Amino acid sequence: MNAPFPAGAEPFLASGQPHPHESAAAHIAGAATYIDDIPELRGTLYAAPVLSRVAHGKLLGVDTQAALALPGVHAVLLAADVPGSKVLAAFAGDEPVLALDTVQHVGQVIGLVVADSVMLARRATRLVMPQIEPLPAILDVRAALAAQSFVLPPVTVRRGEAAQALARAPHTLQGTLEVGGQEHFYLEGQVAYALPQEQNQWLIHSSTQHPGEVQHWVAHALGLDNHAVTVQCRRMGGGFGGKETQAGHVAVWAALAAHKLRRPVKLRLDRDDDFMITGKRHPFSYDYRVGFDDSGRLCGLQLQMLAHCGFSADLSGPVADRAIFHVDNAYFLQDVEIISYRCKINTQSHTAFRGFGGPQGMIVTEAILGNIARHLGLDPLAVRRRNLYSDEAERNTTHYGMQVEGNILQPLLSTLERSANYQQRRAAIASWNVGHTVIKRGIALTPVKFGISFTATLFNQAGALVHVYLDGSVSVNHGGTEMGQGLHTKVAQIVADELGVPLTRVRVSASDTGKIPNASATAASAGTDLNGRAAQFAARHIRDNLAAFVCGLDGVGAGAVQFAAGQVITPQATRSFTDVVAQAYANRIQLWSDGFYRTPKIHYDKTTLTGRPFYYFAYGAACTEVAIDTLTGESRVLQVDILHDVGRSINPAIDIGQIEGGFVQGMGWLTSEELVWNEQGLLSTHAPSTYKIPTAGDVPSHFRIDLWPEPNPEDNVFGSKAVGEPPLMLAISVFEALREAVAQARGDGQAVQLNAPATAERVLWALQSN
């Protein structure tokens, strides 16, 4: 259960308050240290990658003479220089550390130049000449399907008899949808700094969401045991999933160079190289056939999902699995067949991105429901409501066999419908569209139901250390990583409340594999759920030690000892926390402890994708109004109202910031952030000049966020819910509002064929297509 707090202690709690981010002042002052800010040791060298310019080919050789002739160039590393395994320690074992006998995408790293300066290393890479014999490249996902080119086997999930349900359905529709990927565009690019230590040990500073995996990958490539490698990360300048696995590549490359030259080596990717090397959010292609009745209720669905995985598996398996899990979004699917193909194409290997397949699963169903509503001439919100999960026994179980508990979808949507004045605005927009020929408007209200936990059950565990020092100050270390999302702040708040001390007395230190081993990635929105609970348990052990000691002093039971507002209170005496700590130390009482947490209740069969993969669901809804220019295809978001479920918020300021940021990032994915590969497999949109993320000017002046007031019914820390990923999918309301605006502009009652991102060009195509 959630820890009980002493009566009267609530005003002193750190949790539930909008405390600033623990590094906010340092961020503003430019005093927060990132990897590239760490003072460099004397003798540090700099690496830069040599990239393939061919999408697919045989690597016949590499001419390095011209690069090595440059003064200040120390080495050019190729695959032969890898002392350990030449294949990265990824679970599929299908990606080389450096290209071996083939290259498989434009931007694949063939080698590394190591030089006295960053610019010299980068300049020297242009003098390295790979000899590549071109081979046919698969750049289209439909071609990959035809050729049975997969990084992993297809997966099928069925419930009921979809084909028979479709045959019986009063109405059917079929169609396709294309949804593009998304560049992470973290402010701090991929970077690592590898430092040789004594006795063939290594210290790696890595901008990573998963220090434990970086440790394993570096040790694997160097042919060492894991204990010979320590990975540290104080903070990242953004991650969004792009530093979950792919930070490992950069760390391995830096370590290889440092190993060969026995000197510290830093590798920081240029932004263009970062674009060309690293994977993105998976693009998806869909084919569907859906049956429904006169009210819009779904009768049957057949869905084919083609995940554009790139040249290797990376995390494509679990991403595609989560897309299957989230095809339902908030809706009961009675008779359904989903076939998921994990297609191998000659591009960058796509990877984790905020939502991790969830957005790609949800968007197709939202698009289908919008099409159904327009086909029947109904309000799309009415059709969505008609299909929501309910507490009826026959409509509360997902297509993968998990019961939907704590369902607040109906009241949440009704509340937002009223507070956003959805019905009145919908009528006003209809009147506007009648009277205006160029600018047309649309509105949509869409829900989100997002499962919280790693789908790979083994990752749902965490550890933490809490140290109390003689002056009463507290140090916390846990397995999570800070990427700006406020994880360290929330963990500090939780520990402060468990010990009853002011938040200012608690500090969280850098993530470090030498302190917390085998930690899971900070991902799946589970950072606070896992690490916060582990830290709480560690602090509780210390509190129990101190309580037992004070019981002995005052002759009272443990239940009579209270910790609050920096004091330890019994019926006999009130002491400062610091005094109790000093006395406990003098009596040899342990003032540090570890904590461990494993998520309860979860289980599922990964071969059939059935069971309970999630501890709970986070819910939300967004109402978005947009306008489009029918002459240019340009669009603008005019108004956004959000009601989101974070349970009992540990930090409302941080949670609202996550909702804002997630929504805007999702809006960028679906409107302006377009990835374009040319016919040679070159990513043409590889810089801010051609790849457009949202700016402050794209955020509407009316951007209202309210938090659902109820706590998490599951036993989660402070009664909270995860908030990192779910808000991104609220932005599907933008896409659906744009499709509604196009339908209003056309006025022909036909299906709207608008793919994402809905750029101005695509909006024009949708306006003109038949």
List, by residue number, the catalytic residues: 725
Instruction: Tell me the C-alpha distance between 281 and 184, whole Å.
Output: 8
Question: Using an 8 Å Cβ cutoff, are 264 and 196 in contact?
Answer: yes
Q: Of 161, 387, 294, 291, give the one whose Cα is nearest residue 395.
A: 387
Give, in order, the Cα–Cα distances in Å from 435 to each of 444, 658, 739: 20, 38, 19
DSSP string covering 629-656, please?
ETTT--EEEEEEEEEE--BS-S-HHHHH
Instruction: Tell me the C-alpha distance between 249 and 271, whole Å.
Output: 16
DSSP string covering 512-564, please?
ETTTSTTPPPS-TT-HIIIIIHHHHHHHHHHHHHHHHHHHHHHT--GGG-EEE
Instruction: Tell me the C-alpha distance between 201 and 271, whole Å.
Output: 31
Q: What are phi and psi of 373, to 5 degrees?
A: -60, -45
Q: Of 714, 711, 664, give the one whose Cα is nearest residue 692.
A: 664
The contacts of residue 492 (CB under 8 Å, 6+ apart) are 14, 22, 476, 503, 506, 507, 508
User: What is the number of other CB atoms lying within 10 angstroms of the CB of residue 558?
Assistant: 10
Give, in order, the Cα–Cα distances in Å from 505 to each of 68, 234, 502, 517: 54, 19, 6, 26
What CA dihedral angle connects 27, 30, 35 and 39, to 10 degrees? -150
Per the structure block, which two tokens stand in for 358? 């969830």
Question: Using an 8 Å Cβ cutoff, are 683 and 107 in contact?
Answer: yes
Q: Of 277, 351, 266, give the one whose Cα is nearest residue 108.
A: 277
H helix or E strand, kind and range, residue 582: helix 577-586
- For β-strands 298-310 and 284-292, DSSP reports them as antiparallel
Question: Using an 8 Å Cβ cutoff, are 741 and 625 in contact?
Answer: no
Q: Of 185, 21, 178, 236, give the one whose Cα is nearest residue 695.
A: 185
Instruction: Tell me the C-alpha distance between 284 and 364, whole Å.
Output: 10
Instruction: Tell me the C-alpha distance between 625 and 731, whole Å.
Output: 11
Q: Of 718, 722, 720, 721, give the one whose Cα is nearest residue 4.
A: 718
**Sign for the pseudo-dihedral over CA of 751, 755, 758, 762:** negative
Q: In terms of C-beta density within 10 A (0-12 exposed, 13-18 middle, 19 or more buried), how is residue 435 classed?
A: exposed
Question: Using an 8 Å Cβ cutoff, are 238 and 187 in contact?
Answer: yes
